Amino acid sequence: MSYFIKSMAVVLSLVMSTSVFAANTSYYGSKFHGKRTASGSIFNMNALTAAHKTLPFGTKVKVTNQKTKESVIVKITDRGPYAHGRVLDLSKAAANKINCQLCTTTMKILSYGDGKYRRE
């Protein structure tokens, strides 16, 4: 099966599923700052971005810390997290906005990105 068809299958499954779900969330910062992300952009730990394993690049997600009820809107620009049991990696700035180093969050998809690789 081609990459395009696999991507479309993932997008369709996401659209058909609920857009609000709970997730274990962490953050990544200085170790990756200035390096290229899976989407092609340069990671900036001070920007409001996140990494997710399957959401298309450019997708905007509202992330809410379940404990503090603080929210932030992030853009998916990278793939990950690769730690077992985690669903989302926030940039350091996004994690600071909702007081989350390792926390449980809810994620609401606000808009889907086009998934394209961009070398910025």
Distance CA 63, CA 21 (A): 10
The predicted model gives 79-93 an average pLDDT of 92
Does pLDDT of 94 surpass 50?
yes
| Bond preceding residue 56 cis, omega within 30 of 0 | no
Domain 3-111 has CATH 3.40.309.10: no
Query: According to the model, what pLDDT value does residue 69 have?
Result: 95
Structural domain spans, the chain = 3-111
- Amino acid identity, position 21: F
Does pLDDT of 86 surpass 60?
yes
Query: According to the model, what pLDDT value does residue 27 have?
Result: 86
Q: What pLDDT band is residue 92 in, cutting at 50, 70 and 90?
A: very high
